[in-house]
Structure 1
Amino acid sequence: MDDCIFCRLVRGELPISKIAEDEHTLSFLNIVAAHPGHGLVIVKPHVENIYSLDDTLAAAVFQATARLARAVKAATGCDGVTLFQANEVAGGQTVFHFHIHVLPRYKGDELLPFWPATAPNREALDAMAARLRDVL
């Protein structure tokens, strides 16, 4: 897509601080970083979200993400790493080109508020598992 910011980065039209690149993916530092070392891994072809990823791209992006997570941990000395990936507006997606954030995390940094914990009963869990199996 001509106006997609990540497609423009893949085409080399905008500057990036590149970390890695392969046939299917590109990794670079986020210019709006939560911490130094906050990287993004994107798929090179324009794929809007996880629902449209084929198996080849899905495997490639998660392999690249695992490599970047190990590099972020080693290079920053962070206490942990959070992977963040959002789909659709309701899911928090703001750039509509598939990407995964690799966030270095530190004890007490209070990034990314998490959902309130609930404890569904076994029957509700089993019913949802059955619905998901039916769709798969």
Structure 2
Amino acid sequence: MKIQLEISNKIEENEIIIRCNEVNEEIKKLQIMIQDILSHKEHIVFYKDEVEYYLSLEEILFFETEENKIYAHTRDDVYNVKYKLYELEEILPRNFIRVSKSTILNLNHIYSITRSITSSSKVEFQNTHKQVYVSRYYYKMLKNELKERKR
């Protein structure tokens, strides 16, 4: 794949153009990555005790509320963040999706989903004991998003 950068003082607004002979997985992923980068409005700082951490969002499995606080879970650790869930929904990239009133998860880390027709479905992540539950209300949106990513 070639990457070309054109610089011109005649351009009023920056523009990214992807030229391809077909839309394949690589092109789709590139488009999503560019959209995600452009949509980031703020940098998220993670806290543990009195220490600030600057983690890649890709390390985050999910965000959840507990006792009026928001926690970010990685495979091995838990950090506090100073946002509300609705604020995180606005600033997180597209691979994060709300799955219950109290949880936003990273689609890139889903290992399995155990469906329950009568109650919440369970999502598990690879190489960790951590899991979250998807409410029946959000289940269809989650499945649609996963299906969309396979295309």
Q: Higher strand fraction: Structure 1 or Structure 2? A: 2
Q: Higher helix fraction: Structure 1 or Structure 2? A: 1
Q: Same fold (TM over 0.5)?
A: no
Identify which of structures 1 and 2 has the higher relative contact order when contacts are C-alpha pairs closer than 8 Å and 6+ apart: 1
TM-score by length of 2: 0.23
Return the index of the structure with the highest Cα Rg.
2
